[in-house]
Chains A and B, each alone.
Chain A
Amino acid sequence: MLFFSYFKDLVGREVTVELKNDLAIRGTLHSVDQYLNIKLENTRVVDQDKYPHMLSVRNCFIRGSVVRYVQLPPEGVDIEILHDATRREARGG
């Protein structure tokens, strides 16, 4: 549940989601759920020429199981908080 909460805090930020099929999509994080399915808004594909069918897609739902990376804004990562939360979770709190 840690990363679910973590991604919930990132809602509204601009992220790039790289999928296992190498498709990379940049957009505003709209929402996340327990499976880490992601909904993006105002999306654009990083390599648009290679994926012409994605041109008219503005909002999309990405299945959590196909995500390889989520690239976050640098200010969106607070290592201290994440570290504390991990230790708290490990202690079973």
Chain B
Amino acid sequence: MECENEFNQPKPMMEAEFESTRVELVLGNECHLWRIFWCFLIYPKTFFTMSWEGPEDIYLSTSLASYLDKKLLVLLRDGRKLMGILRSFDQFANAVLEGASERVIVGDLYCDIPLGLYVIRGENVVLIGELDLEREELPPHMTCVSTEEIKRAQKADREASDLKGTMRKRMEFLDLD
């Protein structure tokens, strides 16, 4: 019996407490004002959301909120391309990607290397793009290859560009430009 009472009672009590809070707020009860103040310090966003930002407004603002739980492409300053589901972000564009993978593209070859959960520091973010799931992610002529294969291709590509660089350097005395 006691147990049942405990289960039944909290709801009406909470409502009563809420009512009294409101009444005391009007009366200017200091204790409750402090409580509200601390709530504001801890959860400022809740207050702003409650007061003037309706849930549909996130689609009008520049905030990343409209991209939450969507599959995104994050372009980083070093040229890397990460893909994953956005789970969290802040005003610096720090972001948490779940199920992240890096898409490595070398010529017509590409590979998605799985990474896991990634926290990205905002300063490294160039662009965050929403992936349109109905469209092809890549042009049809590109082929998916294994991790080893893409690493080999990457290495060959780097060596080719290095060689190009040294050749240019060696020919510099000719003053080609």
Contacts and interface: CB of A to CB of B under 8 A. Distances in A.
A60 B81 CA distance: 14
A38 B131 contact: no
A60 B130 contact: yes
Contacts of B127: 19, 23, 25, 60-63, 66
B122 A57 contact: no
Interface residues of B, number: 31
A53 B105 contact: yes
B79 to A, nearest CB: 7
Contacts of A35: 91
Contacts of B63: 33
Interface in A15-40: 19, 21, 23, 25, 30-33, 35, 37-39
22 contacts: A21-B79, A25-B127, A31-B61, A33-B62, A33-B63, A37-B93, A52-B142, A53-B105, A53-B137, A54-B129, A55-B135, A55-B138, A56-B132, A57-B130, A58-B132, A59-B129, A59-B130, A61-B67, A62-B126, A63-B125, A63-B127, A66-B125
Given A56-B131, A57-B130, A61-B127, 11 more contacts: A19-B127, A30-B62, A31-B61, A31-B62, A33-B61, A53-B105, A54-B73, A57-B129, A57-B132, A58-B132, A60-B129
